[in-house]
Amino acid sequence: MIKPKTREEIELMRESALVVSKTLGMLAKEVKPGVTTLQLDKLAEDFIREQGAIPGFLGLYDFPNTLCMSPNSQVVHGIPNNTPLQEGDIISIDCGAIKNDFYGDHAYTFAVGEITPETQKLLDITKESLYVGIRELKVGNRVGDVGFAIQNFTEKHGYGVVRELVGHGLGRKMHEDPEMPNYGRRGRGKKFIEGMVVAIEPMTNMGTHKIRQHSDGWTITTLDGKPSAHFEHDVAIVDGKPELLSTFKYIYDALGIESNEEDEFRQQPLVI
């Protein structure tokens, strides 16, 4: 059952989402060749606690770390380790935090140094598909409208859309109704209502959409070993329209990127 949030609860959830946004922005300066994902994980845990929040992933379903760190062919749920990142890698960093008893949860795929144009295109298209999906999150539409939009956009570029892993409702629990697949058919699935909050998170593979889960119970990789990208935002429905609660602006500020991609999804200017 979908649990709509009041305006006051949505603003509390915005605070939770921005803890994650700031954490990803801090990490943006640290993602470089030679650093290990365990080092980044420790930085994130300390930073989240400094913001008066609690790491949302640590211990959730017995996950052992603060961040899901998924390089190259890993799709999601990678466990931080002592392997240094290398020039030309990409890495999805998925982060969660609890503040005000609500979860924030979003993700960004970073380039490690210089990456190939082919890989950069995968990142660009995956991120654009996120906003293509968010545009469909409005009162009266359905889950399938978001999934169809993401799938149609992504597959036109020849990429594989992961089926087994989906976005989700968000609130006092990390995973609430509804599930938000990145594929689907228009007009199908649960209807969107005012006040609902969801995490939309396209997971796109350069090759096949098929994946495999590893024996650690967490790590998921593409079946063909080709790279995968992952981007995620927290979004509420406010006055019938999508309202971003999370932001990539902290990342862009750290990396010197100028972007107005989020402006259409903010009814009020973002206060940084």
77 is in an annotated binding site: yes
Residue type, 240: G
Distances from the Cα of 265 to the Cαs of 113, 119, 133, 159, in angstroms?
30, 27, 12, 26
Q: CA-CA distance, 153 to 124, in Å (whole number)?
A: 12
CA quadruple 167, 125, 271, 239: dihedral positive or negative? negative
Determine if residue 168 is labeled as part of a ligand binding site: yes
Q: Is 232 known as a binding-site position? A: yes
For residue 214, say whether it is annotated as part of any ligand binding site. Answer: no
Closest CA to 83 of 117, 113, 41: 41
Q: How far apart are CA 178 and CA 168, in angstroms?
A: 6
Alpha helix ranges (H) inside 105-142: 117-134
**CA distances in angstroms from 195 to 7, 52, 130, 243, listed in the order given:** 7, 25, 20, 10
Q: Which CA distances in Å does 74 have to 144, 203, 237?
A: 26, 10, 31
Is 94 within any annotated ligand binding site?
A: yes
Question: What is the C-alpha to C-alpha distance for residues 155 and 162, in angstroms, rounded to an integer?
Answer: 11
- In terms of Cβ atoms closer than 10 Å to its own Cβ (0-12, 13-18, 19+), residue 252 is middle
For 11, 127, 174, 269, the CA distances from 142, given in Å and listed in that order, are: 24, 21, 21, 27
Question: Would you say how long the chain is, in residues?
Answer: 272
Binding residues for a divalent metal cation: 94, 105, 168, 201, 232
Binding residues: 77, 94, 105, 168, 175, 201, 232
Binding residue numbers for substrate: 77, 175
